[in-house]
């Protein structure tokens, strides 16, 4: 690939298509024909985020066991329903929507 520089001279530095990794996902290096290297260092936070995304793929979004327990309690009439708490939450949501619509 040829890239025109600001000076008008052609820059024909070729990058390898395959990145080379050094160590355990600490950095990725691209080998360039002029023997210069580009490094990417991942922070600990980025590694933790990647780890969390990986583990969340194996966890179902809905806890079926909990859903069945609530359904059973509702059917039996044993599930406590706090009307004041529900009403307060509804008012809070309405206020948030009103404030966000401005």
pTM: 0.34
pLDDT per residue rounded down to tens, the chain (102 residues): 556 666 655 555 555 555 555 445 555 555 555 667 777 777 888 888 988 888 888 877 889 999 999 999 999 999 998 999 999 999 999 999 988 887
* CA distance readout (Å), 65 to 33, 34, 61, 80, 84: 58, 59, 12, 18, 27
Which two three-digit tokens encode residue 31? Answer: 């080998």
Phi, psi of 14 (to 5 degrees): -100, 130
Q: In whole angstroms, what is the distance from residue 97 CA to residue 102 CA?
A: 9
């Amino acid at each position: 690939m040829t890239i025109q520089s600001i000076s008008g001279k052609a820059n024909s530095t070729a990058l390898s298509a395959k990145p080379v990794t050094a160590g355990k996902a600490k950095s990725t290096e691209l080998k360039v024909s002029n023997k210069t290297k580009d490094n990417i260092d991942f922070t600990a936070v980025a590694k933790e985020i990647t780890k969390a995304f990986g583990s969340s793929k194996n966890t179902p979004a809905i806890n079926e066991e909990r859903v069945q327990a609530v359904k059973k309690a509702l059917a039996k009439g044993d599930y406590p329903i706090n009307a004041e708490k529900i009403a307060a939450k509804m008012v809070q949501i309405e206020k948030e929507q009103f404030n966000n619509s401005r």
